[in-house]
Amino acid sequence: DTAVSQTPKYLVTQMGNDKSIKCEQNLGHDTMYWYKQDSKKFLKIMFSYNNKELIINETVPNRFSPKSPDKAHLNLHINSLELGDSAVYFCASSQALGGVYEQYFGPGTRLTVT
C-alpha cells in the first residue's frame, strides 16, 4: 500500500498556465507538507498543514496556493507558471512522536515549465 502518493509524476506545461498537483496519505498523520527540490537537490519547505489548518507558510509567491480538504489530502495549485517554477515538488506527511516529526515523502512531481 502506498503511504504518500502524488499525481501527476511528471508535468510539462507552458509559461502562464495554471496547474495542480494532488497528494494523499493513508498513514493517518495529522500534518502534511509541500517541499520544493531545486536543480541542486536542495530541499526547502513551502507549506505545512495540521488537521486542515495552515501552520507553515514560507516565503513563496502567492501564485502558489495549497488546499487541504481533509487531513489526508493536500493539494497545490500554481497560477501563471514561470520558468523558475521548474523543480521537483514533494508532498510529505508526519506525526509528532515525542516532539520528533519523522517525515514520509511521496515520490515527487517533476514540473517542467517551457
Partner 1 sequence: TQLLEQSPQFLSIQEGENLTVYCNSSSVFSSLQWYRQEPGEGPVLLVTVVTGGEVKKLKRLTFQFGDARKDSSLHITAAQPGDTGLYLCAGPHGSGNTGKLIFGQGTTLQVKP
Pattern of binders to partner 1 over 48-77, x per CB under 8 A?
A: x-x----xx---------------------
Q: Identify the three-state secondary structure at position 101.
A: strand
CB 21 within 8 A of CB 75: yes
**Among the listed residues 16, 44, 80, 114, the single contact to partner 1 using CB under 8 A:** 44
As measured in angstroms, the least distance from the Cβ of 42 to partner 1 is: 5
Q: In this complex, which beta carbon is closest to partner 1, that of residue 15 or of residue 54?
A: 54
At 53, which helix (H) or strand (E)?
strand 53-57
Distance of CA 2 to the CA centre of its chain: 16
The window from 13-21, 61-69, 70-78, 93-101 that contacts partner 1 (CB under 8 A) reads 93-101
The Cα 94–Cα 85 span in angstroms is 25
Print the SS3 string covering 6-29. Answer: EECCEEEECCCCCEEEEEEECCCC
**Interface pick for partner 1 out of 7, 13, 52, 104 (rule CB under 8 A):** 104
- Half-sphere exposure (CA, 13 Å, Cβ side) for 42? 4
Contact residue for partner 1 among 14, 28, 41, 84 (CB under 8 A): 41
Please report, as ranges, the residues that interact with partner 1 according to CB under 8 A: 4, 31, 33, 40-45, 48, 50, 55-56, 90, 92, 94, 96, 98-108
